[in-house]
Amino acid sequence: MSDERAPTVLNPTQERTLEMLRRFPTPVVFDPDVIASLTSDLADAIDHLGERVLAAGDETVWLSKARISSVLGCEYHHLNPAPFDWTPALAAGTVAHRAIELLVGWRGEPIPATLVAEAIERLIDAPGNIGDWLAQMTEADRADLVNAAVDRVVKFTESFPPLDKRFIPVAESSLRWPESGPIVLAGKTDLTLGRAENGEARKVIIDLKTGGMWPNHLDDLRFYALLETMRVGIPPRKVAGFYLDVGRAVVEDVTIDTLRSAAHRTLDALGRAVELIEGREPERRPQASCRWCPHSTECEPGTAWLAEQAERDD
């Protein structure tokens, strides 16, 4: 944050967030041999899976946090997703993230509506299909979108202390590993604070959430912690999902066990993705996503599961 901003008296939520981010006096240092062994095990497994991808005639398998959850969920839905259409509610998330990214580098008083208006203009100018949708949205869609995006930016400013540049805040940072080969693990963190220094784990990775907490949110953050570890060689010290609607964070210390669990889940997802490329029939696995799945009317296991749920709810 710029020095031009006036000193602030923090509200209780901002104080709590600051407390969550605080470093303990004892430095967090991971055993470099253990990290090197985790890295080389993961690299070997990915090399092996990469050979199978090439043998199956595919060029690249690209895995993000969303695609990991998708392939570990219902494989049929993973391979046959619903066609995607932008709506004001969906676009509001992307616009708000872009506005928060601008806020991190903004000098002077950050006014949420100004940040959102700037974010919309920049997304229209950037390549990508959200820009086309934003450029052509109706006035009513724009009003709904701006309202929802401003709400998120306001909640962010109410929940986080002003991001002093000494915190080393970075918004929307891309992560990718390995650097080459047919398998790409990729992600983009909403906000990071701090960086690894002198062998010490100092970075905190934060995902900003609206709505409620889902079990896979922590898995998503562990995946980012794993990518950061592969990229830098030093893990982050914490990951946190910050739930803007309630002004609360769910925080987890990064440990070698959480990194191993992330590596295991990532390889499980990759293994399934590669099997599907090799021609295995996708499994239909009924779950919460059956409720909005476009195949639910003709999918036997999905229909049976939905009927069971409806009976249970009555």
Q: Which residues bind ligand SF4 (CB under 6 A)?
A: 74, 76-77, 284-286, 289-290, 293, 295-296, 299, 301-302
* Residue-by-residue DSSP string for 192-240: EE---BTTB---EEEEEE-S---THHHHHHHHHHHHHHHHHSS--SEEE
Dihedral sign for Cα 125, 130, 136, 141, please.
Answer: negative
311 φ/ψ sector (left φ>0, alpha ψ -120 to 50, else beta): alpha
Nearer to ligand SF4, 72 or 263 (CB): 72
Q: What is the CA radius of gyration of the chain?
A: 21
Q: Which alpha helices (H) appear in the chain, and where do they start and end? A: 12-21, 32-55, 65-72, 75-79, 88-105, 112-125, 129-136, 139-159, 216-232, 256-277, 300-313
Nearer to ligand SF4, 195 or 284 (CB): 284
Q: What is the C-alpha to C-alpha distance for residues 238 and 250, in angstroms, rounded to an integer? A: 10
Nearer to ligand SF4, 257 or 298 (CB): 298
Nearer to ligand SF4, 33 or 298 (CB): 298
Nearest distance in Å: CB 291, ligand SF4: 9
Which tokens in the block code for residue 206?
Answer: 């934060």
Nearest distance in Å: CB 77, ligand SF4: 4
Nearest distance in Å: CB 79, ligand SF4: 9
Nearer to ligand SF4, 296 or 309 (CB): 296
Nearest distance in Å: CB 49, ligand SF4: 24
Do residues 116 and 98 touch, judged by C-beta distance below 8 A? Answer: no
Quote the DSSP letter at residue 162: -
Q: 193 - beta bridge partners? A: 204
Nearest distance in Å: CB 298, ligand SF4: 9
Nearest distance in Å: CB 284, ligand SF4: 4
Q: Which residue has its beta carbon closest to ligand SF4?
A: 302
Nearest distance in Å: CB 306, ligand SF4: 8
Q: What is the C-alpha to C-alpha distance for residues 155 and 157, in angstroms, rounded to an integer? A: 5
User: CB 18: neighbour CB atoms within 10 A?
Assistant: 13
Indicate the residue type of 70. S
Which tokens in the block code for residue 263?
Answer: 């590596």
Nearer to ligand SF4, 261 or 309 (CB): 309
Do residues 236 and 203 touch, judged by C-beta distance below 8 A? Answer: yes
Nearer to ligand SF4, 261 or 303 (CB): 303
Nearest distance in Å: CB 218, ligand SF4: 22
Nearer to ligand SF4, 188 or 285 (CB): 285
